[in-house]
């Protein structure tokens, strides 16, 4: 675990963040007194995929629960043939 003072952190922030990305932990000191620790941010599995999509601006995380009326709303009636054709067409495009 590395340690740095505030002025050095400010001057070399990019370098310290590269080290944190590589797994290093950094203690920030103010007049030799530890005040903070910078640690790598980790997420697992599906959460990593979600975090990547959010970072790319392709997804927003939900902020609340769906209202009960959402679950009671009528769903559109789509014939099975139309669903199969749409899925097949989508797969053929890839």
Read off the pLDDT of residues 10-48 as tens digits, 9 standing for 90 and up: 999 999 999 999 989 999 999 999 999 999 887 677 777
Tell me which fold the domain 2-55 belongs to: YefM-like fold (3.40.1620)
pLDDT at res. 82 = 93
pLDDT at res. 43 = 66
- Please give the share of the chain, as a percent, with pLDDT higher than 90: 52
Contact 28, 36 (CB under 8 A): yes
Residues in contact with 54: Cβ distance below 8 Å, sequence separation at least 6, in sequence order: 60, 61
Give the end-to-end CA distance of the chain in Å, rounded to a whole number.
Answer: 47
**Cα-flanking dihedrals φ and ψ of residue 33, to 5°?**
-105, 120
Contact 35, 28 (CB under 8 A): yes
- Output 56 or 49, whichever has higher pLDDT: 56
The predicted model scores a pTM of 0.48
For residue 66, the 8-state DSSP code is P
Q: How many CB atoms lie within 10 A of CB 28?
A: 16
pLDDT at res. 94 = 57
**Domain regions of the chain by residue span:** 2-55
pLDDT at res. 48 = 78
pLDDT at res. 76 = 84
């Amino acid at each position: 675990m590395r340690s740095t003072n505030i002025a050095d952190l400010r001057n070399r922030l990019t370098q310290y963040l590269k080290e944190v990305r590589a797994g290093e932990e950094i203690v920030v000191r103010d007049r030799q007194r530890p005040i903070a620790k910078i640690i790598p941010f980790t997420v697992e599995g599906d959460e990593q995929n979600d975090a990547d999509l959010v970072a790319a601006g392709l997804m927003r995380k939900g902020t609340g629960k769906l209202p009960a009326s959402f679950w009671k709303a009528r769903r559109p009636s789509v014939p099975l043939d139309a669903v199969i054709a749409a899925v097949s067409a989508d797969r053929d495009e890839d």
